[in-house]
């Protein structure tokens, strides 16, 4: 598994939980499937820039807050 994808997923999960969002709620707000969101959080998929912006808007954070430092 790619370290960057895994860390991105960890960042997303941490912010999602801190904001009180369930996976279902965030997926609905971002217009994506809940199972896809789970794969993103586990680092199993490459996220497109478009989906990055949809998720960051739905969770009310900057895209840079989700992207891990390397």
Sequence ranges of the domains in the chain: 3-62
Express each pLDDT in 7-66 by its tens digit: 999 999 999 999 999 999 999 999 999 999 999 999 999 999 999 999 999 999 999 999
Distance CA 31, CA 45 (A): 17
Q: 3-62 — its CATH code?
A: 1.10.260.40
Rg (CA), the chain: 11
pLDDT value for 70: 75
Interaxial angle between packed helices 34-41 and 49-59, expressed in degrees from 0 to 180 and rounded to the nearest 10: 100
Please give the model's pTM, rounded to 2 decimal places: 0.91
Torsion of Cα atoms, 63 then 61 then 50 then 55, to 10°:
130
Q: Find, among 60, 50, 52, 69, the residue nearest to 15 by Cα.
A: 60
């Amino acid at each position: 598994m790619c370290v960057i994808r895994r860390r991105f997923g960890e960042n997303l999960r941490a912010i999602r939980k801190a904001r009180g969002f369930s996976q279902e709620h965030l997926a609905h707000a971002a217009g994506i499937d809940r199972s896809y969101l789970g794969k993103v959080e586990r680092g199993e998929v490459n996220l497109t820039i478009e989906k990055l912006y949809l998720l960051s808007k739905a969770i009310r954070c900057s895209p840079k807050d989700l992207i891990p430092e390397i």
